[in-house]
Amino acid sequence: MTRSLELKIGARRFVAELLEAEAPGTCGAIIKALPIRGKVIHARWSGEAMWLPMKDSGVEVPHENATSHPSRGELLFYPGFVSEKEILIPYGPSRFASKAGVLAGNHFATVREGLDGLAEVGSSVLWEGAKEAVIDAI
């Protein structure tokens, strides 16, 4: 049985399928940290993406199922080796990066419900600023 997460950004709701076979350590650590609360802000170097800072989350995992080129809705957890620990939420073309250069994050979940509304939320975060976000189990 595939488990899912609910991602709320502002008033919008998304459902993401966990990729437990591909990123078991990351999925397990994220599940233990739920609910995850914070503010998403627009990415500066990663293209059309938002990110949720995870500095104090307690999630500690190595790289697994890592990519630098996530597609729209492919959630990445970055363990924080070169840049800040975070969850990247791409809503369009992106290449995961920081001021230090290209990064690789653990692809641990993919948005399956509400994907069409992700670009609208991303644009809103870009032009209006940070939005409250909650990630929790369904």
Domain 4-137 has CATH 2.40.100.20: yes
pLDDT tens readout for residues 27-86:
999 999 999 999 999 999 999 999 999 988 889 999 999 999 999 999 999 998 888 899
- Reported as a single tens digit per residue, the pLDDT across 3-30 is 999 999 999 999 999 999 999 999 999 9
Q: For residues 25 and 64, is the Cβ–Cβ distance under 8 A?
A: yes
